Structure 1
Amino acid sequence: MAKDQKKRSAKSSGKARAEGKKPPEATYEAAEPSKQRKFRRDRVAPDQLVQRGALAIRDQMRYLERNHDIARGIIRTMVNNVIGPNGIGIEPQPRRRDGTIHEEYANVLRSMLRQWARFPEVTHRHHFSKSQRLMAQAWFRDGEAWTQLLIGRVPNLTFRTPLPFALELFEADMVPMDYDDPSLNIRQGIQRNAWGQITGVYVYKTFPGDNNFLVRGTEAKRIPGDRILQLADLDRIGQLRGVSGMASIINRLEDVKDLEESERIAAKLAARLTAYVRKGDPQLYNPESVQTDDRGQPIQRDIAFDPGTIIDGLGAGEEIGLIDTKRPNPNIYTWRQGQLRAAAAGAGVSYSSAARDYDGTYSGQRQELVEQWVNYAVLTDEFVGQWLQPVWEAFVNTCDLSGVAPMPKDVDRALAHDCLFVGQSMPWIDPMKEAQAWQMLVQCGFASEVEVMRKRGVNPLDVLDQLVSWRTKAREKNLVLTSDAWHTKVGQLAAGIPSPAADDDDEDDDGATKADRRSMRARWSARAAYRASRRAARNHG
């Protein structure tokens, strides 16, 4: 059989050579051109691709955010789930040389951060959590956002806190996309060295769309690379400028917006009642019965439509009909659901959040939430790595250099910036089920109380301080709380408090002494043993 296959193969190859054709080779079908689909080639450099479309995509997304409720809702959902109402928290954890946490220095940094977070940026208009949300919003909408780190004395700049450190936030328009100088290795407003590291960024002194920009011209200043942060959405390796991640869903959002507008217009037109008079059989039509004016033109009839109106002015064979507009369209809701599901997948948000459609079972909603929360966690990690962590490191260094919070000698300088960034916690769909599950994990030793608090988005140290303060006040007022295990025997033994000796004469709530109850239990046991012996004797007999 193998010989026959070889003969057929050799025969087909020989036939192909005889006809001047090459034998078929193994290949990917998707790599071959076809008449059924358009063949696309993409060999453009990432920076050149950004140069062509970044500005147009940025303008389009800003238009959609201003005028389309779905686009604004998607961006707001991403900002709320990545940054949250209180921002991404920072828990200082400076380490000693032996690896332990320096609690005293951590408390000093925590206190200084609380003061600085009120006025972290140069305009003194936004607190730290709002600054994070503004940066994230520009990042999701425009594809990138920039921040300049201002440390020490700066001309004409006043600091509202003892720490001489502030942030200057600006959008992507401030960095010119068309500023190139090959002699200085400047591309799209960014200067790099031979290894591609950013050494400087050229920034306009005024916003390009402002009237002052026309007066002052295209004057730009150079900011050193170690004093500027770029929060960018980069799709390819080596890409300099960011492009909005919403680029792939812009057309779909435009289609949804256009269809909804057309349906609204159609619904308004359908609400305007339009009727016609059908003449009926031509043989019943009498031209002489039609009233005419002086010029012989038929006089138009006005028929009033009011509730309960009786129309008796129709001629023989005439009837009134209404134009059916087929509105509302019964398929619009299903079509809109499918489009929003695809748009939500491209944007990285859940369909329930984008469409505000929360129908489904508990298991289905939780599965969607679990799968979707990974995307929010990834965005949180990128935000921390590109922006929040460099800001925190500059904050700690400024505290040390300015003398506001000097670094202790026993702190390892390489680990002085160590901290824990606390992102948003996954919400609980059914609080009772979630609480019972975490309680079982903690009791079995598979999780810690601190982890549960972190998952709920609270600071364990703050919760501990609140518990100590509240329970101390409750004990001072002789209040017994069910959540306080100190009042139980186990809690008192763990606290080293000896339990009082048992007294047989102490009465219970119903007035019976403990000795009476023990004698009663003894009589019940004796009676049960007597009955058991009688049953055994009868069975033996």
Structure 2
Amino acid sequence: MMPRPKVRLNAVDQVIAYLWPSAGLKRLAARNVLGQYEAANPSRMRKGRKANGSPNASAQRGAVALRGLARHLEENHDIARGALRTLVNNVVGPAGIGIEPQPRRKDGSIHNEYAAALRKAYRDWQQTPEVTQRHHWSKVQRLVAKTWLRDGECFSQRLIGAVPLLDHGTKVPYSLELIEPDLIPFDYHDPARGIRQGIERNAWGKPTGYWAYKEFPDGESWTKRSYDLKRVDAGRMHHIASVDRIGQMRGVSEFASVITRLEDIKDYEESERVAAKVAASLTAYVKKGAPEDFGQGTGESGGAGQPRELHFSPGMIIDNLAVGEEIGMIDSNRPNPNLVTFRQGQLRAVAAGLGGSYSSIARDYSGTYSSQRQELVEQWIHYAVLCDEFVGQFVQPVWNDFVLAAHLSGVVPIPRDVDPESADDALFVGQSMPWIDPLKEALAWHSLVEDGFASEVEVMRKRGVNPRDVLEQIKAHRDECAEKGLVFGSNFANKDKAAPPAPMQQQDDKGD
């Protein structure tokens, strides 16, 4: 065990320790603590910036500006747009979050008939789930996820039953009104009524209402009505937000920590592109000798001070230069050979800040199978966390509303033998981790299933498909093949004819 370093006492410490030993001991302990936490002491080499404000105050100062910067980058920067698309596609995917209803009877068994009725009504509702009837359900999920990650939050009003001037367009009378965060004003405060940043809360901090503009502020058709506010009860509003601190009400863009770096990459690449274009344009100059040579005629142009035209062709010899003149070429040393390395380093930092995969953001898939799989395995947990937040704050509440609306409207009433508390139980299936080497992955899962460490249902869900749909497809395909007398493969064609396995011989416990 190494001895602790001794703290050297100065003259003041020695006097205090001699007269007041207890005070001297406290002074020595305080100096020891201060010496251990160098990061807490600002210095010439350390700025020591702090963020000690309340979570809502921090969001108030920067959330709106960060939202606008993130939108600008998405519209004008290919890397930012690709990074946002990567996050959305890995969290939501092409078919959205899958839902498998799991209603249970009072004895705990799954009520398959009620689950089938819910799935049928749900397939109809997925076609037009929102009020404009322009987007199907999986696209709605991607729009909400993109708004949530880019702007920091997204709102949606739940509309159930008869609503004036609204045609739900589906059997189940339930629709969503998607609302961008601009419509919930950040600068609307009324402390007397518990309203801050457009959200009304009770004494415990629970939202009780949202104050929204009736029209988009500063929109195309500005009217006085654009700045009129209406109160929406919290029970009718879904709010998904990206929050960093406890007590934070409004969300902040996921791009907040990487916006500066993305802007620097954009500016640097633009400068390099301009420099490369200049370098690609062949530029020559005529270097003259003594100062008095500038007053003489200039070759082919014939007049003093007139522009000079030099024509180049392969293998030509220039012999019309004046005395003391020579031709020089402008070399900009572009393209920069260090551009790729610098860009890769910056994109790795961007990927770390966003939580996305570097290979997907940079479109750089170099490396071995082991390195790519290690990156995918370590990265996928972040996508899974984002998927959990997205399901918990948006998809699951929407499903609960759908089951309630289906029951209240009589389209899919809850059977009497179903436990009412489990009527909206469901299994939410997010995106599965893709297989880098399908053959190796398939063999691994096959071994796990054969040895009893996994089930076929689990393998199907890991592949991102619904097991019930797969089984129905397999059964329909095999029935159709049987009707037409077609045989594909010996496994299922001769399965019933296969001989039963021979019984295992029992061995004596003592052995031979």
- CA separation of 1:488/1:164 partners in 2, compared to 1, >3 Å: closer, same or farther? closer
- Larger deviation, residues 462-471 vs 336-345: 462-471
Choose which of 241, 262, 265 in structure 2 pairs with 1:253. Answer: 262
Aligned to 1:484: 491
Task: State the Cα distance separating 1:301 from its structure 2 match.
Answer: 3.5
Q: What residue number does 1:134 align with?
A: 143
Structure 1 residue corresponding to 2:326, chosen from 299, 310, 319: 319
Q: TM-score, normalised on structure 2?
A: 0.89
Q: How does 1:95-174 map to 2 (within 5 A)?
A: 95-174=104-183
- CA separation in 2, counterparts of 1:126 and 1:339? 36
Q: Which structure has the larger Rg over C-alpha atoms?
A: 1
What is the count of residue pairs matched by the alignment? Answer: 488
Partner in structure 2 of residue 31 of structure 1: 40
Q: What residue number does 2:505 align with?
A: none
What corresponds to 1:182 in structure 2?
A: 191
Q: Which amino acid aligns with 2:389?
A: E
Asked whether 1:46 is paired with 2:55, we answer yes
How far did residue 161 of structure 1 move? 1.4
SS in 1 for 2:257: helix
Q: Deviations over 1:150-203 (max 9, x none)?
A: 011111111211211111001000101111111110111111111111111111
Shift of 1:486: 4.4
Structure 2: runs of 5 or more not aligned: 502-512
**Structure-1 separation of matches of 2:443 and 2:413:** 45
8 Å CA contact 1:90–1:419 kept in 2: the answer is yes
| Alignment equivalent of 2:434, drawn from 427, 448, 460 | 427
Query: In the superposition, relative to structure 1, how do residues 288 and 419 fare at CA in structure 2: closer, same or farther (>3 Å)?
Result: closer
**CA-to-partner distance for each residue in 1:386-425, whole Å, 9 max, x for gaps?**
0111111111111111111010001001111110001011
Compared CA separation, residues 299 and 162, structure 1 to 2 (3 A)? closer
Deviation at 1:380, TM superposition (A): 0.5
From the superposition, tell whether residues 250 and 6 of structure 1 become closer, same or farther in structure 2 (CA, over 3 Å).
Answer: closer
User: How far apart, CA to CA, are the structure 1 residues paired with 2:434 and 2:331?
Assistant: 47
Distance in 2, matches of 1:199 and 1:300, equals: 77
Q: Is the 8 A contact 1:293 1:299 kept in 2?
A: no
Q: Which residue is 2:366 aligned to?
A: 359
1:477–1:321: structure 2 CA closer, same or farther, 3 Å change rule? same
Q: Give the whole-Å Cα distance in 2 for the aligned partners of 1:182 and 1:6.
A: 55
Alignment of 1:168-317 (within 5 A): 168-279=177-288, 290=297, 297-316=304-323
Tell me, in whole angstroms, the C-alpha distance in 1 between the residues paired with 2:278 and 2:327.
19
Opposite residue 152 of structure 1, the aligned amino acid is: G
Contact kept? 2:213, 2:226, Cα under 8 Å: no
Normalised to the residue count of structure 1, the TM-score between the two structures is 0.85
Q: How is 1:376-455 mapped onto 2 (pairs within 5 angstroms)?
A: 376-455=383-462
Q: CA RMSD in A?
A: 2.8
Aligned partner of 1:460 in structure 2 is 467
Q: Letter of the aligned partner of 1:257 in structure 2?
A: K
Counterpart among 379, 391, 395 of residue 372 in structure 1: 379
Question: Counterpart of 1:246 in 2: which secondary structure?
Answer: coil
User: Which one-letter code corresponds to 2:374 in the other structure?
Assistant: Q
Aligned counterparts of 2:184 and 2:322: Cα–Cα separation in 1: 76
Residue of structure 2 equivalent to 1:89: 98
Match of 1:74 among 62, 71, 83: 83
User: 1:425 is aligned with what amino acid?
Assistant: S
Name the aligned partner's letter for residue 14 of structure 1.
Q
Give SS of 1:247's match. Answer: coil
Counterpart residue number, 1:55 = 64
How far apart are residue 314 of structure 1 and its match?
2.6
Among 480, 503, 508, the residue aligned to 1:473: 480
C-alpha contact (below 8 Å) 2:213/2:229 kept by paired residues: yes
Deviations along 1:412-470, one digit per CA (max 9) or x if unpaired, are: 01111110001011111111111111111111111111111101111111111111122
How has the CA–CA distance of structure 1 residues 304 and 117 changed in structure 2, closer, same or farther, with 3 Å as cutoff?
Answer: same
Pick closer, same or farther for the CA change 1:275–1:269 going to 2, 3 Å.
Answer: same
2:285 alignment partner, SS class: strand
Return closer, same or farther for 1:289/1:235 CA change in 2, 3 Å cut-off. closer
Q: Which residue of 2 aligns with 1:342?
A: 349
How far off its partner does 1:10 sit?
A: 11
Cα deviation for residue 29 of structure 1 reads: 1.8
Contact 2:104 2:418 in 1 (8 A): yes
1:238-281 Cα offsets, whole Å, 9 max, x none, are 0000000110000000000000111111111112211123446x
3-state SS, counterpart of residue 25 of structure 1: helix
Paired AA for residue 51 in structure 1: Q
Provide, for residues 308-365 of structure 1, a one-character-per-residue CA deviation record: whole Å limited to 9, x for no partner.
Answer: 4332213455432211111001111100000000001101101101110100000000
Q: Which residue is 1:14 aligned to? A: 14
